[in-house]
Amino acid sequence: MSIESAPNFSDSEKDCPSKTNYSLHDSPKIHDKNLEPYIGLEFEDLDYVYIFYNAYARNHGFGISKNSSVKSQVTKDLIWKNYVCDKAGKKNMYTPEDPSTSKKRYVTRMDCKAKLDVRRSKDEKWVVTGFEKQHTHELDILRRTIKHRSHKVAHKSLIVKNAMDNLHEAGLGPSKIAKTLNATGVNTDITAQNVIDHLRIKRKNNIGREGVLVAQYLQAHMVKDPNFFFALELDSDGILRSLFWSDSRAQNDYITFGDVIVFDVTYKTYRLMMPFAPFTGVNHHRQSMLFGCALLADETEDTFIWLFKQWLNCMFDKHPQVIITDMDRAMYNAIKIVFPNTRHRFCSWNINKHLIEHVYDMRDTECEFASEYKIWYNNRTIEHCEVLWKELITGFKLQNNK
């Protein structure tokens, strides 16, 4: 069966009558298995025509390809587009002299006539002007249909890319973005890796821009605060990796109260999932002080070394006497390199978090140990604390426990 209105590209031609107008907000309807193209069906965007016909093809056992198009001779804008079954055309009749040297391929061209034609109307909508439903071959079952190329690369359409960008801007991670798009019907079978690849390509296309914009923003602060300090780390492509900044007030506070600092990387920025690392301390009123902040590309030893060196450049090369961190091997190694004379201690919260893991084999005495440990932990004098610690180690025979 073939229903078609021949494309006529003269300006005097009347537009096809519209029956339904589909936009992105109608995406769940696009995957309705009972929905079928017809003459006069309208779309807000050409890319959405592809999504519609590809969804129809998926539901009916075939794949599609973009075939031919026509541009206006006056404006050079696209005014007509043709989509066909991916088995359209005839197979290559060329036979190599030595068949053994040629890679064997499945025959995919079967001169199928199934197609969908659309034309741009005067009100900038895309209208179906031709539709051929019948195929010259058997249609596939679902598990074979999804192997067609159009269903594998559906996530590359412009509308889906825009949806990925919008969800990413809203703070969703790759897995949630893929799940949302699949659930809402904007597309199907989008994986988290598809989203990651798209975001990586988009960021590559913004090479250098992030670093420039951040530098311009921070330089504006230097007009108000001449001693404002910031440092950027860029990769080989000019993409921003890490950032450190500190204002003059924070620097003055560090000079006065920076004997002991706390460095914490347990925070993550919601959108970019970059570790946020503040340097903090306490003043003589036991009030928290912020000495500086960083956004890091990762938590590797090289990144920490870069950050700590920038810290010293900012703080007039004054090393802290004590630095308190969590239990991280890369951080531990970086501190030994950059702050060789600084005492490195782990925070009590981190120690308590891992306590049960290290004493898990002491099931029979676990309650008693926890009670004795609490007494030691709440002790406030150095001398008594050391005495209780030795008694704790000896009493529970933990001399060889490391």
- The answer to the question of residue 214 being in a domain is no
- The answer to the question of residue 210 being in a domain is no
Note the pLDDT of residue 96.
Answer: 54
Note the pLDDT of residue 103.
Answer: 54
Separation of alpha carbons 61 and 66, rounded Å: 17
- The answer to the question of residue 401 being in a domain is no
Shared domain for 305 and 380, answered yes or no, is: no
Number of domains in the chain: 4
Shared domain for 24 and 110, answered yes or no, is: yes
Shared domain for 139 and 200, answered yes or no, is: no
- What residue numbers bound the domain in which 54 lies? 2-152
Shared domain for 12 and 129, answered yes or no, is: yes
- List of residues 6+ apart from 184 with CB closer than 8 A: 27, 28
Shared domain for 91 and 76, answered yes or no, is: yes
Of 152, 182, 197, at which residue does a domain stop?
A: 152
Contact predicate 266/260, CB 8 Å: no
User: Of all helices (H) and strands (E), which one includes residue 79?
Assistant: strand 78-85
Shared domain for 14 and 127, answered yes or no, is: yes
Quickly count: other Cβ atoms within 10 Å of residue 139's Cβ.
13
Tokens encoding 140? 């596939």
Shared domain for 117 and 69, answered yes or no, is: yes
Shared domain for 9 and 48, answered yes or no, is: yes
Note the pLDDT of residue 5.
Answer: 42
Question: The domain spanning residue 294 has which CATH number?
Answer: 3.30.420
Shared domain for 317 and 377, answered yes or no, is: no
Please choose, from the candidates 296, 256, 293, the residue with its C-alpha nearest in 3D space to the C-alpha of residue 275.
Answer: 296
Shared domain for 378 and 299, answered yes or no, is: no
Residue where the block lists tokens 């050079």: 76
Shared domain for 16 and 125, answered yes or no, is: yes
Shared domain for 98 and 193, answered yes or no, is: no
Tokens encoding 93? 């009749």
Note the pLDDT of residue 397.
Answer: 82
Q: Please list the rounded mean pLDDT of every run of 10 residues in the chain (402 residues).
A: 44 43 50 77 85 85 90 90 90 56 61 93 92 90 73 64 85 86 66 80 62 82 92 80 94 96 80 81 94 92 96 96 92 96 88 65 59 80 88 83 67
- List of residues 6+ apart from 153 with CB closer than 8 A: none
Note the pLDDT of residue 25.
Answer: 45
**5 exposure class (CB count in 10 Å sphere: 0-12, 13-18, 19+):** middle
